[in-house]
Structure 1
Amino acid sequence: MCLVVGAQETPPAPEQQIKAAYILNFTRYASWPASVLADARAPLVVCVMGQGSGDIARQLHSRAAGSHPLDLRTITRGEDAAPCHALYISPSERPRQAALLARLRDQAVLTIGDSASFLADGGMINMMLVEGNIRFEVNLAAAKQSGMSLNPRVLALAERVVGGAAK
């Protein structure tokens, strides 16, 4: 991957680049109900929220999840998450995280975050730093409740799967 950085921009932190790659792969291995994403070529709306999420959005620019081009949006309020197919919530949103995830609980929105309480708050995929590497854990019950499914390959790579078959 080649990243061109303008004179006034700072390059994204390597951690943000890795998180963006994970998010892209999560969208590629998630399945939405046909009623939500009926057209095989429809854009997949990926929203990001919170500090540092802009770097992640820039890394995802002009990318695609299978046949779905990514439509990236930065949101600041939970109410703005309605058109999102996937939502990354940065750790800066931790105080509002539980309420936001409760609002999305029955909607087919792939929720991705990186805070210790993300799965307990109802999020689907939590990224975490383990021995200097980014790993992830999955809340399968939250995905199922929203009508979504995750490819078994994703589940096999997870550090931990909650609410489903053990690893």
Structure 2
Amino acid sequence: MKRRGRWWQWFGSFGWGASLLSLSSLLPCALAADDTPLPEQQVKAAYILNFTRYASWPPATLADPRAPLVVCVIGQDAGDIARRLQSRAAGSHPLELRTITRNEEGDACHALYIGASEKARQGALLARLRDQAILTIGDSTSFLADGGMINLMLVDGTIRFEVNLAAAKRSGMSLNPRVLALAERVLGGAAK
């Protein structure tokens, strides 16, 4: 992955490079202090962390300001991503990581990352979660079409993202407008 744009400070929240300056400084590809590309799973974990920080759930979902925010992951690379998110927090909410294997386990999540290896069953999982306040993040070409909210994708060697705003609204969630402005594409919302 190559260095692009002005976004890499976003990943400073992991201690990888510069400090987090502002959301407007996001970089779709993180670089280590010596400008070497970070592993793809590390970049994805950074995106997932920051999406949880800039998403809003309905008030009843996280009524206790110190309650854990449950982040579930499913797929072949899920364990690596979960390890990279250990001991992190989204605002005042410590992240509680869970690796799930069955669709039914997704009901107990606040955010769910569905790896590309789960493409065959992602449609059924997303249909099950359709009206629940669960931030869904994936990385397959059909993720948004299947009803997912945020899709990670590789563009010119750089990880970028696209958003299905209609899916987020349907579930009662919202995403910070600054995140939407950085998306490659926003479905069901205003154009960039």
Specify if TM > 0.5.
yes
Q: Give the whole-Å Cα distance in 2 for the aligned partners of 1:52 and 1:74.
A: 10
What letter matches 2:180 in structure 1? L
Q: Secondary structure at the match of 1:72?
A: strand
Q: Give the whole-Å Cα distance in 2 for the aligned partners of 1:99 and 1:126.
A: 17
Which residue matches 1:151? 176
Q: Which of 142, 162, 166 is residue 137 of structure 1 equivalent to?
A: 162
Q: Which of 34, 37, 41 is residue 62 of structure 2 equivalent to?
A: 37
Q: Would you say how many aligned residue pairs link Structure 1 and Structure 2? A: 157
Shift of 1:83: 1.1
Matched, 1:100 2:131: no
Q: Give the whole-Å Cα distance in 1 for the aligned partners of 2:119 and 2:106.
A: 16
Q: Secondary structure at the match of 1:93?
A: helix
* 1:3-42 correspondence to structure 2 within 5 Å: 14-42=39-67
TM-score by length of 1: 0.92
Q: Deviations over 1:65-116 (max 9, x none)?
A: 0100000000001101111000000001000000100000000000000000
Which residue matches 1:10? none
Matched, 1:81 2:110: no
Structure 1 unaligned regions, length at least 5: 3-12
Q: Secondary structure at the match of 2:125?
A: helix
Q: Which runs of 4+ in 1 moved over 4 A?
A: none
Q: Secondary structure at the match of 1:82?
A: helix
Matched, 1:65 2:90: yes
Q: Secondary structure at the match of 2:108?
A: coil
Q: Secondary structure at the match of 1:134?
A: strand
Identity across matched positions, percent: 80
Q: Secondary structure at the match of 1:129?
A: strand
Matched, 1:123 2:148: yes
Q: Give the whole-Å Cα distance in 2 for the aligned partners of 1:154 and 1:59.
A: 22
Cα RMSD (Å) of the superposition? 0.9
Q: Deviations over 1:5-64 (max 9, x none)?
A: xxxxxxxx7000000000000000000001111111110000000101111000000000
TM-score by length of 2: 0.80
Structure 2 unaligned regions, length at least 5: 1-14, 17-37
Which residue matches 1:111? 136
Which residue matches 2:72? 47
